[in-house]
């Protein structure tokens, strides 16, 4: 897991797998702007689970956690075991 490449790798997933043509900035809304729908939100959560090596409970797959790259990063860091 390389946090320095997070935006690049998530951007590549959004482009290649979810066909999102715009490259979102860290605070850009993905769901509220219509770039993602509920089905793609689930796909994104699956990708992030694999990328970060964490388990994301179904109850956490919600807009607040995945609407922006910044929110995703914060959420994933909260799921990592404490050092």
Contact 54, 61 (CB under 8 A): no
Contact 29, 53 (CB under 8 A): no
Q: Where are the domains of the chain?
A: 3-79
Tell me: pLDDT of 65 over 70: yes
pLDDT digits (tens, 9 = 90+) for 17-47: 999 887 788 888 998 888 889 899 999 999 9
Which CATH code is given to the segment(s) 3-79?
1.10.1200.10
Token pair of 82 as six digits: 């404490």
Tell me: pLDDT of 83 over 70: no
DSSP 3-state of 45: helix
- Polymer length of the chain: 83
């Amino acid at each position: 897991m390389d946090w320095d490449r997070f935006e690049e790798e998530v951007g590549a997933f959004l482009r290649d797998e979810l066909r999102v043509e715009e490259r979102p900035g860290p605070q850009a809304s993905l769901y509220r702007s219509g770039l993602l729908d509920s089905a793609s939100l689930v796909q994104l959560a699956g990708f992030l689970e694999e990328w970060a090596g964490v388990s994301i409970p179904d109850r956490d797959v919600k807009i607040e956690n995945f609407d922006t790259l910044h929110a995703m990063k914060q959420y994933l860091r909260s799921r990592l075991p404490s050092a």
